[in-house]
Amino acid sequence: MEFFYFLIRRVFWSLLVLFGLSIVIFVIARVMPGDPARMAMGPRASQEQVADLKAKMGLDKPILAQYGQFAVGLLHGDLGLSFLTKRPVNHDIAETFAATFELVLATILVAFVVGVPLGVVAAANKDGWVDNLVRFFAILGAATPSFLLALLLQVLAGYVLHALPTTGRVSPDSPFTADITGLLTLDTLLRGNLGGLSDALRHLLLPTLALSAATIGQIARITRSSMIDVSTQDYIEAVRAFGVPDRVRMFKYMLRPAFVPPMTIMGLEFASLLGNAFVVELVFSWPGMASYGVRSILQKDLNAVMGVVMISGVFFVVINLMIDVLVGFIDPRVRIRGARA
């Protein structure tokens, strides 16, 4: 029952956050300077044409009526029409979301595979040269801007070594399209197209490295701190007193409770990168949702901006809800406190 109440509370607060997000992004979109109808029609359009577009888009209605129209559309999965592409925002996001999702998913996987072991190794060698080296590179990775690392990787791997492609998701002459899940690497694997898989992975590698450096550093530092904190607990001292080998003690008794903070960080990073990957996407000409959102902001495409933010917000809330549930399974104290709160 504790877990049931824990889950109900998390779902309730998640829905409340989404409701608040819809209000905030609607208000921000409406107070942005500039006339979206004029920007959509162009400077040569007459006042009558601009007024007609405003009436079609509902921009001439009172602000509360506009929000009501926006909220009803959200509930029906309708994000409106893009001023920029003249297509439903749903279609634009459907075409671009998979590219960003694939990039962010690869980033989180690389950050997990690299960051967690680095943190464990650093904790096992606390205050030694290995620990200092890991902390140095962790801080360096976290402090280096992703756009700078992206440019460096692009120049080094693409133009100096000529080892990897520097733009796009696939080669220009590639006949393969992601028509199953939208994820190129997964679709090529499902079809058994090893050549397409290799091409997709080569295009994915540089953007992933550029985007994952900061996350690797953050996860490594959090894992190290968490492992050191767990190592001081009384039950670990008892395990050590019973003569349990260091490797068994670390991976069997310490890693599970110490993994809660890094997992929380990974959930937050995964959700935030969906909207914050635009710099790397722009450098590598990656056709993702994040760069689509930036173009929409520059063109004051209100429906597209609100759609991208709401989709990012939904995934942020859903992923954090999943992390809360996983943390509750790993550490029963969390769900018991959540149910009693």
Q: pLDDT by residue (tens digit) across 309-320?
A: 888 888 888 888
Characterize 90-125 residue by residue with b for buried, 16 or more Cβ atoms within 10 angstroms of its Cβ, and e for exposed.
bebbebbbbbbbbbbbbbbebbbebbbebbbbbbbe
**Distance between CA atoms of 245 and 329, rounded to whole angstroms?**
27
Lowest mean pLDDT segment, chosen from 23-37, 225-239, 264-278: 23-37
100-298: which CATH architecture?
Answer: Orthogonal Bundle (1.10)
Residue 185 has pLDDT above 70, yes or no: yes
- Alpha carbon 5 to its chain centroid, in Å, reads 28
Q: Where in the chain is the domain with CATH 1.10.3720.10?
A: 100-298
Task: Using alpha carbons, list the distances in angstroms from residue 152 to 163, 185, 210.
Answer: 14, 25, 9
Report the 10 Å Cβ neighbour count for 214.
22
- Spatial CA neighbour of 122 closest among 225, 266, 249, 254: 225
Over residues 1-15, the mean pLDDT reads 75
Q: How confident is the model at residue 36 (pLDDT cuts 50, 70, 90)?
A: low
Percent of the chain with pLDDT over 90: 5
The pLDDT, as a whole number, for residue 336 is 52
Amino acid at 131: D
- 61 vs 197, higher pLDDT: 197
pTM beyond 0.85, yes or no:
no
